[in-house]
């Protein structure tokens, strides 16, 4: 009896080793396989820089009406949702419904879920938005600000910091920094832990509490939407740069927002910074923002 138990364990052991080795061997074989397809290359027309940066000329952007088309352009092409009413209770995830009729009845239930409209801002998603001086530069201790700055609407967005605290905080590397300085999000990898939101001192990130598609009147099919439970923010229009286009806000700004290579002394942004007094948001924090404001 003893003897046969021994042989049994031996065989079982060999079999187990074989079973564990097999997937490893096949995965080794298949991990190489997509490359036996074609190869991937950069778009030849893509715009490149050593370190992308932005200069916002606040002297020329003086009213909310000036900012509006810029914000609209960004939010429209990136499918950034606007929710007209706030939800009291969470909705059912109807997209998971297996059949069309199930999906329809699920949506009917969702329609009945009570909504409140008191606080539209609670679920707000923003990539670029308007803010007042005190919120933008909280460490400016002067309580007697010039009339002009006190009432000036400022455009604000992710600063694409050279030393981004959000990247350091993200446990999944969903938030990462490209070599050209752009702080990007890989939405596929975001687990919605919101560490990055806590780490960003500028409040540049939004969390999708709701399915963003519910807040979109029209979807731009050229750019994906996000899903519930994912953080998002401005991406410096990485998808446009790769096609040789300038960011959408820059295009909509009629020259009041400049975009270019901060490492190149001959670039438009550097020239503007040479000639004008510009500030960055909370430079003392050491995040090294790449967005400059000409005052």
Which spans of this chain sit near ligand SF4 (rule: CB under 6 A)? 158-161, 164-166, 169-170, 172, 174-175, 183, 185, 190-196, 200, 202, 204-205, 231, 233, 287
Q: Which among other proteins, ligand SF4, none contacts residue 137 (Cβ within 5 to 8 A by kind)?
A: none
Q: Is 113 in the site for other proteins (CB under 8 A)?
A: no
Cβ atoms 84, 121 nearer than 8 A: no
Q: Is 222 in the site for other proteins (CB under 8 A)?
A: yes
Q: How far is CA 22 from CA 11, 28, 34, in A?
A: 16, 10, 20
Q: Is 101 in the site for other proteins (CB under 8 A)?
A: no
Q: How far is CA 250 from CA 51, 167, 275, in A?
A: 17, 25, 20
Q: Is 217 in the site for other proteins (CB under 8 A)?
A: no
Q: Is 38 in the site for other proteins (CB under 8 A)?
A: yes
> Which of 14-22, 114-122, 192-200, 215-223 is the region at the interface with other proteins (rule: CB under 8 A)?
215-223
Q: Nearest-CA neighbor of 256 among 64, 55, 79?
A: 55
Q: Which among other proteins, ligand SF4, none contacts residue 209 (Cβ within 5 to 8 A by kind)?
A: none
Residue 233 CB, shortest distance to ligand SF4, in Å, is: 5
Among residues 28, 29, 41, 88, the one that binds other proteins under rule CB under 8 A: 41
Among residues 146, 163, 186, 191, the one that binds other proteins under rule CB under 8 A: 186
Residue 121 CB, shortest distance to other proteins, in Å, is: 24
Cβ burial, residue 150 (10 Å; 0-12/13-18/19+): exposed
Q: Nearest-CA neighbor of 245 among 219, 223, 278?
A: 223
**Contacts of 214 by beta carbon, 8 Å cutoff, 6+ apart:** 81, 83, 91
Residue 43 CB, shortest distance to other proteins, in Å, is: 5
The rounded distance, in Å, linking the Cα atoms of 211 and 227 is 6
């Amino acid at each position: 009896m003893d003897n046969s138990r021994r042989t049994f364990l031996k065989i079982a052991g060999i079999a187990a080793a074989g079973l564990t080795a097999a997937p490893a061997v096949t995965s080794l074989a298949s991990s190489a396989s997509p490359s036996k397809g074609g190869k991937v290359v950069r778009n030849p027309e893509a715009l490149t820089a050593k370190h992308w940066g932005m200069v916002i000329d606040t002297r020329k952007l003086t009213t909310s009406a000036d900012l509006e088309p810029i914000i609209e352009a960004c939010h429209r092409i990136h499918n950034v949702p606007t929710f007209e009413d706030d939800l009291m209770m969470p909705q059912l995830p109807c997209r998971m419904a297996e059949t069309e009729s199930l999906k329809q009845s699920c949506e009917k239930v969702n329609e009945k879920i009570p909504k409140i409209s008191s606080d539209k801002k609670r679920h707000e998603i923003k990539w670029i938005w308007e803010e007042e001086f005190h919120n933008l530069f909280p460490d400016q201790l002067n309580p007697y600000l010039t009339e002009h700055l006190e009432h000036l609407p400022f455009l604000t967005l992710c600063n694409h910091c050279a030393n981004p605290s959000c990247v350091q905080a993200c446990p999944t590397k969903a938030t990462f920094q490209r070599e050209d300085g752009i702080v990007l999000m890989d939405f596929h990898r975001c687990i919605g832990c919101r560490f990055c939101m806590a780490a960003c001192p500028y409040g540049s990130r939004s969390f999708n509490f709701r399915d963003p598609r519910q807040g979109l009147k029209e979807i731009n099919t050229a750019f994906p939407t996000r899903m519930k439970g994912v953080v998002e923010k401005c991406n410096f229009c990485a998808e446009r740069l790769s096609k040789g286009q300038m960011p959408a806000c820059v295009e909509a700004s009629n020259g009041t927002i400049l975009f270019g290579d901060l490492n190149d002394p001959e670039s438009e942004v550097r020239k503007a910074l040479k000639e004008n007094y510009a500030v960055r948001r909370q430079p003392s924090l050491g995040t090294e923002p790449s967005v400059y404001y000409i005052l």
